[in-house]
Amino acid sequence: MTPQPDALAERTIEQLVDGLRGIPGAVFTRDRVLREIGRTVLDPGSLGPYLFFRRSHYTRNLIFRNDLFEVVAIGWEPAQASAIHNHRGQECWMGVPIGRLEVRNYRLLEKDETSRTCRLQPSERYEMDPLHPAAVDPTEPIHSVHNLPEYGGRAMSIHVYSRPFDSCEIYQPEQGRYYDVSLGYTTRFGVLCPGEMAEAGLAIS
C-alpha cells in the first residue's frame, strides 16, 4: 500500500459512495479511485449507522455493494489486528476517518499450492489516519492492519474492494502455511446479521 497526500474536502459516506458510483467501470482503476478517496475527509457523524465494535474481533459492516465494488466499514477496538491476508488479486483502497491504524506489508517469497506452504518477508510499515488514505500495492498485496494499543482508542476504517470478493488467503509465517477463509459481515446496511453480536456506539472508548 502507498500513503497518499493530505485529503482536501469533508464529505459524508453517502457522498463518497455517490462519487464512486459515478466512476465508469472502464476507468474504475487504482489511481482513479484513490483520487476520489484522497480528496475526501469523511464526516465521522455520517458513519453512525455503521459504527459497530466487538471485543473479540474487529467487525465488518457493509455500506454498499454492487457488481463493480463494495464499501465496508471495519470497526477496531484498541489492540485489535487483522490476520496477514490477501485480497484474491482484487483492488483495495482504505481510509481511516476515525482514529489511526498501522499497515504492515509482506513480500511473498515462496508459495506451494500443493502443500499449502509459504514463506513471507516483512516489508513496509506505515500509518493511516483521516488525512492519509492508501491503496493496496499490487506488487505487495499481502498485509495486516493493526489498531496499536498506544493509539489509545477505537478506530473505524473504510475499505473499497473491486470487485467484491467473499474469501481470502490467511498467512501464518511462523508455521510457514496459508489457508482459505470465507468472509462475512457483522452488519449489512446498519442491521446486525443473523447470529452476529456487536456493540453499536461512538468510536471513542
Q: How deeply is 149 buried, as exposed, middle or buried, from its count of CB atoms within 10 A (0-12, 13-18, 19+)?
A: exposed
Q: pTM above the 0.95 mark?
A: no
pLDDT cut 90: percent of the chain above it: 88
The model's pLDDT over 23-50, given as tens digits with 9 standing for 90+, comes to: 999 999 999 999 999 888 999 999 999 9
The model's pLDDT over 177-201, given as tens digits with 9 standing for 90+, comes to: 999 999 999 999 999 999 999 999 8
The model's pLDDT over 117-154, given as tens digits with 9 standing for 90+, comes to: 999 999 999 999 999 999 998 889 999 999 999 999 99
Residue 134 CA to residue 144 CA, distance in Å, equals 13
C-alpha cell at 175: 508455521
- Using alpha carbons, select from 188, 203, 184 the residue that is nearest to residue 62: 188
Q: What strands lie across the sheet with 59-65, from one edge to the other? A: 2-3, 134-135, 91-98, 155-162, 70-76, 59-65, 187-188, 191-192
Cα 133 to the chain's mean position, in Å? 10
The residue to which cell 482504505 is assigned = 94
Determine how many CB atoms are found less than 10 A away from the CB of residue 175. Answer: 9
Residue 28 CA to residue 16 CA, distance in Å, equals 14
